[in-house]
Copies of this chain bind each other. A is one copy, B any other.
Amino acid sequence: MRTAETPTETPTELLVARPKRADARRNYEKVLAAAREAFAEGGEATSLEEIARRAGVGIGTLYRHFPTRQALLEAVYVNEVEEVARSAEELDGGDPWESLNAWFERVISYFATKRALWAELLDYLAPDAPLFMTCRASLFAAGEPLLRRAQEAGVVRPDVEFWDVMHMVGGIAKIPTNDPKQVERILRVALDGLRYHAES
């Protein structure tokens, strides 16, 4: 686990250039948040002008931080991966089942962001581009210990692997429904499948 004493950069932090000055960093974060929100609403095609407007910054400021549309899309994607990874760190140490369950509940919204960005990112990058491979490794490094800990504690069946569960959650994230409660319900059932054998 990283502490304040070891501020080394994570692999994903090396993927995008972030401003160091506090005021520049604030604008950067505002643009990132506005872009993420716009893409999550299904507006993959949202223009950079519209994103600048939503963020409350000038288009010049946006371009200073994200010289191309690709740069912005990559930054939103990497940022989401980092937040998911960070949430695993925060959950580390809690009840093994509750931590695992809570992490995969968070992962559902990662898949929603990924889905919104994926098609356009693939215009710029190959599916096995270093950016994706680094993000993949980062998700594994974050979530796999939570799964292993739950398996070692005997609360999760031993016959599943990390990417099985990721795929399962990713599949559920794609369910064509407008009812978030239904997705929650289905995710709960599927994740409960992880602890089925533990009780038999």
Query: Are A200 and B199 in contact (CB-based, < 8 A)?
Result: yes
Query: Are B193 and A164 in contact (CB-based, < 8 A)?
Result: no
Q: Which residues from chain B contact A165 at a C-beta distance below 8 Å?
A: 189
Q: Which residues from chain B contact A197 at a C-beta distance below 8 Å?
A: 192
Q: Which residues from chain B contact A96 at a C-beta distance below 8 Å?
A: none
Report the count of interface residues on A (CB-CB < 8 A). Answer: 30
CA–CA, A186 to B164, complex, Å? 6
Query: Are A190 and B168 in contact (CB-based, < 8 A)?
Result: yes
Instruction: List the one stretch of A36-44, A69-77, A136-144, A171-179 in contact with chain B.
Output: A171-179
Chain A residues in contact with chain B, CB under 8 A? 157, 159-160, 164-165, 167-168, 170-177, 182, 185-186, 188-197, 199-200
CB < 8 Å neighbour of A196 from B182, B186, B195: B195
Query: Are B190 and A164 in contact (CB-based, < 8 A)?
Result: no
Q: Which residues from chain B contact A167 at a C-beta distance below 8 Å?
A: 175-177, 182, 186
**A175: shortest Cβ distance to chain B, in Å?**
5
**A54: shortest Cβ distance to chain B, in Å?**
31
Query: Are A157 and B189 in contact (CB-based, < 8 A)?
Result: yes
